């Protein structure tokens, strides 16, 4: 009897355990069903108006990037024309000068004495000429009377000619001495500002020694090296916009000249861009910018919307309620009113909307929902 009771108790325990296990499994299954249903629900990416750009025909300006240092069109190193001691220097760096203004005075003591010496030699030569001329006149009278021979007459003529030549040489010496004295006074050859003062009073300078540098800031140029493949498109008068260190905003310029000879080695061509006058510009400042090569109508897409993580560039085009990868064939880059853009040759049409580059990586076929004004006005300017 006791054994039977123990068996019954064991069966009841097993039955209770089975019932509990069944209830646990049912509860577990009921909790997993909503999670599975949620995983199957589609993910929709919401897009704001600023997340889309519209492909449209726009005026595309093709540009060429350039850079370099500014150089004054008119500048000069003032040099010593004679060897002498520097007596005074009338200007310093930053001073404005005009043509003919006194800059440097060299000591003229030596040149004064040389000029006096040349002048005395000229006076002596003039006196000798007068004696030779009187002798010639006397010989002519004696020759007419038959008192002297033809040889004596020829000697008198030669003497007078020699005296004449000696006088002319002496006069030339006077002029050379006077020029040397005048060269001791150094004046400004051009208008501008003093960039360098290279001598001080008391120094003795040789011939052709640099004394001062003058720079005319009224006209400044940027010397740009143009690649050979772009040189054929460059033209005189082409507009350019430059950024100059230390100056806010753009500095306008234009191509003033193009060198007719390519540089050896690089084969690049030098173009000279003349900048508009600006009191803040200085020689030697670094400038960078772009030259406009051409401007034409083209189907343009902002460069930021072009994606390059595949073998061929593509854009994420809005196709109904999804986005799809659209492979692109692109042309030249340039500038539009909205910024840097690229010409679309194939892959998109005017009015198509694509995801802006700021959206980031989005998988092909992702469902999207456009919120705000972009949903009702796909071609509005706000989508740019």
The class of domain 46-62+296-383 in CATH terms is: mainly beta
Cβ(306)–Cβ(40) below 8 Å: no
Write down the domain spans for the chain.
Answer: 46-62+296-383, 66-71+218-294, 75-194
From 27-41, 81-95, 350-364, the region with the lowest mean pLDDT:
27-41
Q: How big is the CA angle at 41 (ends 38 and 46), to the nearest 5 degrees? A: 120
Q: What is the mean pLDDT of residues 284-298?
A: 89
Please enumerate in sequence order all residues whose Cβ is within 8 A of that of 299, keeping only pairs 6 or more positions apart, or say none: 55, 56, 57, 343, 344, 345, 348, 349, 350
66-71+218-294 topology per CATH: Elongation Factor Tu (Ef-tu); domain 3 (2.40.30)
Tell me, what's the pLDDT at 259?
Answer: 93
Please determine, for residue 338, whether its predicted confidence score (pLDDT) is greater than 60. yes
Token pair in block for residue 295: 């401007």
Main-chain phi, psi angles of 290, to 5 degrees:
-145, 145
Q: Do the domains 46-62+296-383 and 66-71+218-294 sit in the same CATH topology, yes or no? A: no
Q: What is the pTM of this model?
A: 0.65
Q: pLDDT tens-digit profile of 152-206?
A: 888 888 999 999 999 999 999 999 999 999 999 999 999 999 999 999 999 999 9
């Amino acid at each position: 009897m006791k054994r039977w009771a123990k068996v019954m108790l064991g069966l009841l325990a097993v039955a209770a355990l089975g019932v509990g296990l069944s209830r646990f499994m049912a509860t577990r299954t009921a909790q997993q069903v909503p999670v599975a249903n949620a995983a199957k629900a589609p993910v929709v990416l919401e897009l704001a108006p600023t997340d889309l750009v519209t492909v449209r025909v726009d005026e595309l300006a093709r540009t060429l990037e350039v850079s370099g240092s500014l150089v004054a069109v008119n500048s000069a190193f003032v040099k010593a024309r004679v060897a002498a001691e520097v007596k005074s220097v009338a200007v310093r760096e930053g001073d404005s000068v005009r043509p003919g203004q006194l800059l440097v005075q060299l000591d003229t003591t030596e040149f004064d004495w040389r000029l006096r010496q040349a002048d005395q030699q000229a006076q002596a030569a003039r006196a000798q000429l007068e004696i030779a001329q009187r002798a010639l006149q006397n010989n002519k009278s004696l020759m007419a009377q038959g008192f002297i021979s033809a040889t004596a007459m020829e000697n008198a003529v030669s003497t007078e000619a020699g005296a004449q030549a000696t006088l002319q040489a002496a006069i030339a010496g006077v002029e050379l001495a006077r020029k040397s004295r005048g060269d001791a006074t150094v004046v400004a050859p051009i208008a501008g500002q003093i960039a360098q003062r290279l001598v001080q009073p008391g120094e003795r300078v040789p011939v052709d020694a640099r004394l001062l540098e003058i720079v005319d800031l009224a006209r400044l140029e940027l010397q740009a090296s143009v690649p050979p493949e772009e040189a054929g498109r460059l033209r005189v008068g082409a507009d350019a916009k430059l950024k100059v260190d230390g100056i806010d905003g753009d500095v306008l310029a234009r191509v003033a000249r193009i060198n007719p000879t390519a540089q050896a080695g690089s084969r690049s061509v030098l173009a000279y861009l003349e900048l508009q006058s600006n009191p803040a510009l200085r020689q030697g400042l670094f400038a960078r910018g772009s030259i406009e090569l051409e401007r034409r109508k083209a189907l343009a897409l902002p460069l930021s919307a072009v994606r390059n993580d595949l073998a061929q560039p593509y854009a994420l085009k809005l196709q109904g309620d999804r986005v799809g990868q659209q492979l692109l064939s692109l042309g030249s880059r340039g500038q539009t009113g909205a910024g840097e853009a690229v010409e679309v040759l194939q892959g998109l049409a005017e009015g198509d909307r694509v995801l802006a580059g700021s959206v980031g990586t989005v998988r092909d076929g992702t469902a999207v929902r456009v919120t705000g004004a972009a949903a009702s006005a796909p071609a509005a300017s706000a989508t740019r």
